[in-house]
Amino acid sequence: MKKWWKRGLIAVAVLMTAGFSMGAYAQPEKVTVVYGGSSWLGHYPAWVGIEKGLFKKHGLGVLFQNFYASSGRMGSLVAGDVDVASTGCISAIALMAAGTKAFMAFGTQDSYATVEGIIAKEDIKDGKALKGKRLAAPFASSAHVLVLDILAQNNLDPEKDLTLINLKVNEMPAALRSGEIDACAAWTPHFNKLLHMPGHHLLVDDTQFSLYQEYRIGPGPDLLVVRTEFAQQYPNTCRAFVKGYFEAVDLLTHDPEACAEVLVKLTHLSMADQMAVLRDITWIPGNQQKALMIEPGEFVTGMQQLARFLVKHGQIDNVPHVKDWIAERLVP
C-alpha cells in the first residue's frame, strides 16, 4: 500500500511537471504574424529573425510589411492589418493622447543617438546660423521633434525665423543637390547617404536633444507594440514572437557581421556602411526590459517626459498616462 501511494505521488509530480512545461512552451495558436517595419534600424531584429530562421524555430512565420512612416504603420496596426510592430514613440504617444487602447507596448530594443540628426551646408556652423534658411524635416516625426528642440535652444521661432519644409527623407538628397533646401533632418539609412554628399556636414545629432541630456531618451525612441486584440486572442503566439525577436537582438549584439550580410537586402547600404550603422547602435537584450518598462521603468518615465515635451511644442493636445499602455505580461 505504501509503495502504491509513493508511486502515485511520483506519477502526480511527473504529470504536474509535464503540464507546467507544456504551459511554458505551449504551441502558438496562430502561426503567421504580420510585422510592420521599414529599413530603419529599429526593425533590424525582425528582419534578422526572419532571415536567420529564429521565428521559425519557435513555430512562427513572420511576414515583414514595409511602411514609410510610423504613423502609417500604427494606423494599420490599429485597423487590424498588422499584428506586431516597432514604432517611433511619437506616433504611439499621439495615439495614447487620443485615447485609443487598440495597442499595447512591451519593450524597447535599441538605443541610438548618432544615426539621426540635422545635416546642413558647410557654411551653417551652428544652430543659430539656421536663421533665414530653408530647413526640411518629415513633420510629426522624431526628426521634426529634434528640429523644434534645436530651434528652441537657439531662440528661433520655426514660423518666423526660418522656412520649415515638410519633406520625406528619401527626397532630401535631391533637394539638397538642387539648392531647394539648406539643411535637413533625417535618420538612417538616408542619414548616412546625406552625410556622404560633398559640401555638407553634421550640424547636430540626437545627443543634443534636451531630454537626452537628462533622461538618455532621444526625440523618438523605438517602441515595440502589439495589437491589443491580437495579444488577447493569441497569447502563445505573442510569447513565441518575443522569444524569437530578442534572440535576434542577441545575434545582432554578438555577431553583427553575419547580421549585416542579410540586412543589406533591407537597407541597400554597402556592407561597410551597414557595419558602421551597427557600430552606432546599443542593443537592449530581453533581460533588461523589465527594468526599463516595469520596475523601476526608466524608459517609461522618459516617454512620459517626451509626452509633456510634445504638448509644450503643440504636437499633441494632452499628456497621456503612458504606463497604462504597457503590456507587462509580454515584457520578457
pLDDT per residue over 123-132, tens digit each? 999 999 999 9
Same domain, 87 and 226: yes
Same domain, 100 and 156: no
Query: Among 177, 103, 170, which Cα is nearest to 141's?
Result: 170
Percent of the chain with pLDDT over 70: 92
Among 167-171, 194-198, 250-254, the range of highest mean pLDDT: 250-254
In the predicted structure, residue 51 carries a pLDDT above the cut 90 = yes
In the predicted structure, residue 184 carries a pLDDT above the cut 70 = yes
pTM (two decimals): 0.84
Euclidean distance between CA atoms 254 and 113, whole angstroms: 20
pLDDT single digits (tens) 228-287: 999 999 999 999 999 999 999 999 999 999 999 999 999 999 999 999 999 989 999 999
pLDDT of residue 30: 96
Same domain, 142 and 280: no
Q: How many domains does the chain have?
A: 2
- Mean pLDDT across the stretch 287-293? 97
pLDDT of residue 189: 86
pLDDT single digits (tens) 76-86: 999 999 999 99
Percent of the chain with pLDDT over 90: 83
Euclidean distance between CA atoms 204 and 187, whole angstroms: 12
In the predicted structure, residue 3 carries a pLDDT above the cut 70 = no
pLDDT of residue 25: 57
Same domain, 157 and 197: yes
Query: Among 105, 139, 115, 140, which Cα is nearest to 303's?
Result: 105
3-class DSSP string for the chain: CHHHHHHHHHHHHHHHHHHHHHHHCCCCCCCEEEEEECCCHHHHHHHHHHHCCHHHHCCCEEEEEECCCHHHHHHHHHHCCCCEEEEEHHHHHHHHHHCCCCEEEEECCEECCCCEEEEEECCCCCHHHHCCCEEEECCCCHHHHHHHHHHHHCCCCCCCCCEEEECCHHHHHHHHHHCCCCEEEEECCHHHHHHCCCCEEEEEEHHHCHHHHHHCCCCCCEEEEEEHHHHHHCHHHHHHHHHHHHHHHHHHHHCHHHHHHHHHHHHCCCHHHHHHHHHCCEECCHHHHHHHHCCCCHHHHHHHHHHHHHHHCCCCCCCCCHHHHECHHHCC
Euclidean distance between CA atoms 136 and 143, whole angstroms: 9
In the predicted structure, residue 182 carries a pLDDT above the cut 60 = yes
In the predicted structure, residue 324 carries a pLDDT above the cut 80 = yes
The two beta strands, 163-166 and 110-111, are unpaired
pLDDT of residue 69: 84
Look up the CATH number of the domain holding residue 130. 3.40.190.10
Domain C-terminal end among 215, 242, 266: 215
Query: Which comes out higher in pLDDT, residue 211 or 22?
Result: 211
**Nine cell digits for residue 30:** 496562430
Domain C-terminal end among 174, 189, 215: 215
Same domain, 205 and 252: no
Give me the phi and psi of 3, to 5 degrees please.
-65, -40
Instruction: Give the domain extent around 184.
Output: 116-215
Per the prediction, the chain carries an average pLDDT of 91
Same domain, 326 and 226: yes
Euclidean distance between CA atoms 75 and 215, whole angstroms: 28
Task: For residue 172, tell me if it sits in a domain.
Answer: yes
pLDDT of residue 9: 41
Same domain, 99 and 240: yes
- Mean pLDDT across the stretch 162-190? 95
- Mean pLDDT across the stretch 39-55? 97
Position 222 confidence tier, pLDDT thresholds 50, 70, 90: very high
Same domain, 167 and 185: yes
pLDDT single digits (tens) 13-29: 433 333 333 345 589 99
